Amino acid sequence: MFERSDPKITSTQAAIFLTNTVLGAGILTLPRSVTESAKTPDAWISVLLGGGIIMLVIVLMVKLSQQFPGKTVYQYSRQIAGSIPGSFLSMLLIVYFIVIAGFEIRVFAEITMFFLLEGTPIWAIVIPFIWVGGYLVFGGINSIARVYQIIFPVSIFVLLLCYFFSGRLFDLNHLRPLLGDGIMPVLRGLKSTILVYTGCEVVMTITAFMQHPQQAVKAMLTGIGIPMVLYLITVVMSIGGLSVDSVITSTWPTIDLIRSFEISGFFFERLEFPLLVIWMMQMFCNFCSFFFNASLGISQLFKLKMAPIIFGLMPFIFLATMVPVRINDVFAIGDAIGKMGIGIFFLLPVLLSLILIVRRKGLKQNV
């Protein structure tokens, strides 16, 4: 009656959906991974450059999706590439989403065990998290978008507050020299920056849910722009506050940064607690996005209802979470996901676009 019953989201919601899908684990891991590979203070240029590349990728994805209004990648990939190859590509994407979902929870659980709940068995952290996520995914795209809309402003506010206060540690000399070793370290750093933007593949499904798909490019670029700026600030602040050497040696540099100063006379004195809280919520959003997209994919691929798939995916996500044994395995998976992301990029949007162009322009087919 008042609210549309068909699953459609506004452009703002779509942008926030993308932001909340991408902004997550990277807040804590990105500074170390990018400086580790770049080994110079120029790591922040890599973030900027990576963001620029991802923006181009996203424009490509949106343009592709806009050719098939109201259809997700799971549906139009079969239309473009044929039934079997299309299904195969969709399957690949689904597996990719499940792996990321498991990875996100694992990182979440590791941090929680390290900072908040020492000695708690990992399953006790992971399982309730999956359940609550399942409850959200049950509500469909509308419910998810609304929860994101509530969490998003709080997250941004707290994050910026943390960075604002960490400004007192900021030393511009830590960021110098600019491009001292040339452009090569920046390019090396690109590899790890791509990882933090993984998940932007959801663009190919959200566009289908948008109320005004013609605004998709603007909305999605905003959606990726916000995490890009935040990641940039994260890296600049971490390196500027801690120096390159300490960022490389610390496991969670952002938390170390926030921990290393106290605001006396304030209730919390240290801001790591609010940072952890909003980071957990952000991880929850991340996880739910992938959970939703994976179950949506399966449901559209096999033409099944959502409910049984959501239940069915829960144990698989749990297993995906538990497969890495040590924390180094977790990081290895992270790298693998980054590589998978690049592969997915070439297989889905690029390949599909090429086929589409060939079929439409070259063979004059009506796809």
Partner 1 sequence: MWSTIVSYIPGWVIFMQAALTLLCPLGIYYIYKKLYAFVSNAGPKMKANAQPNKDSTADSQVSGQYEADLSYVQQAIGGNSDVNFREFVVQGYELRAVLIFVNGMQDEESINRHVMQQLMFGNSGMKEEGQDSRETLTLSALKANLLPLTELEEVTELDKLQERILFGYTALLIEGIPAGLLVGQPNGSIRAITEPTSEALLRGPRIAFSEVLSENTSMLRRQGLNKNLEMKVYEVGSLVKRKLVIAYMKDIVNPDLLEEVKTRVSRIDMDFIAESGYVEQLIEDNVLSPFQQIQNTERPDRVINALLEGRVALLLDGTPFALIVPVTFSMLLQSPEDYFERWLPGTLLRLLRFFAAFMALMAPALYISFISFHPGLIPTELVISIIETRQGVPFPSVIEVLILEVSIEILREAGIRLPKPIGPAMGIVGGLIIGDAAVNAGIVSPFLVIVVAVTAISSFSIPMYSAGITLRILRFVGMMFAAVLGMLGTILFILLIFIHLTKLKSFGVPYVTPFSPLRLSDWKDLYIRAPLPLMKRRPEMMKTQKKKRRN
Contacts to partner 1 by CB under 8 A: 1-3, 10, 12-13, 112, 116-117, 120, 123-125, 127-132, 134-136, 139, 142-143, 145-147, 149-151, 267-270, 272-273, 276-277, 280-281, 284, 307, 311-312, 314-316, 318-319, 322-325, 329
Would you say 325 or 363 has its CB closer to partner 1? 325
φ/ψ (deg, to 5) at 9: -120, 155
Shortest Cβ 181–partner 1 spacing (Å) = 36
- The residues that bridge with 107 in the sheet, in sequence order, are none
Shortest Cβ 209–partner 1 spacing (Å) = 14
Would you say 178 or 319 has its CB closer to partner 1? 319
Shortest Cβ 82–partner 1 spacing (Å) = 32
d(CA 12, CA 145): 9
Helices (H), 139-215: 140-166, 184-196, 203-209
Shortest Cβ 266–partner 1 spacing (Å) = 8
d(CA 215, CA 202): 16
Instruction: Answer for the pair 140, 305: CB distance below 8 angstroms, yes or no.
Output: no
Would you say 12 or 353 has its CB closer to partner 1? 12
Tokens encoding 248: 């490389």
Shortest Cβ 221–partner 1 spacing (Å) = 19
d(CA 49, CA 186): 9
d(CA 63, CA 217): 8
Q: Is 87 exposed, middle or buried (0-12, 13-18, 19+ CB in 10 A)?
A: middle
Shortest Cβ 280–partner 1 spacing (Å) = 5
Would you say 110 or 201 has its CB closer to partner 1? 110
Shortest Cβ 176–partner 1 spacing (Å) = 35
d(CA 75, CA 73): 5
Helix (H, G, I), strand (E, B) or coil at 210: strand
**Can you state the percent helix, strand and coil of the chain, rounding each to 5?**
80, 0, 20
Q: Which residues contact 136 (CB under 8 A, 6 or more apart)?
A: 143, 144, 147, 288
Shortest Cβ 318–partner 1 spacing (Å) = 5
Shortest Cβ 162–partner 1 spacing (Å) = 14
Is the bond leading into 7 cis (omega within 30 degrees of zero)? no
d(CA 284, CA 179): 37
Would you say 270 or 360 has its CB closer to partner 1? 270
Q: What are the angstrom distances between the C-alpha of 21 and each of 32, 236, 283, 308, 313?
A: 21, 22, 9, 24, 19
Instruction: Answer for the pair 152, 19: CB distance below 8 angstroms, yes or no.
Output: yes
